[in-house]
Amino acid sequence: AITHGVYFSAIALCEKVYTLLKITSDTNPYKFYLTGGDSKALAEHLPAIWEVDPHLVLKGLALASAACP
């Protein structure tokens, strides 16, 4: 029960952020990403506007470390 509560709380949070940002912008210049191990599962319950990249953080870390001398 706790796991499902956390899962659906995360979905509700994503929906709320999307709704608030959509309200504040007529052109909606935002891109929405889901990353991490459960990103694909969460995406099934969210609008298609969310892009899924389970390894986005790791890709960013790789870019940052490559830029270091």
What tokens does 41 get? 């599962």
| Whole-number pLDDT of residue 48 | 80
Strands 50-52 and 32-34: parallel
31-55 pLDDT, tens per residue?
889 998 888 999 999 888 889 999 9
The single-letter code of the amino acid at 10 is A
Mean pLDDT rounded to a whole number for the chain:
87
50 bridge partner residues: 32
What does the block give as tokens for 54?
């389970």
Q: Which two tokens stand for residue 50?
A: 């969310």
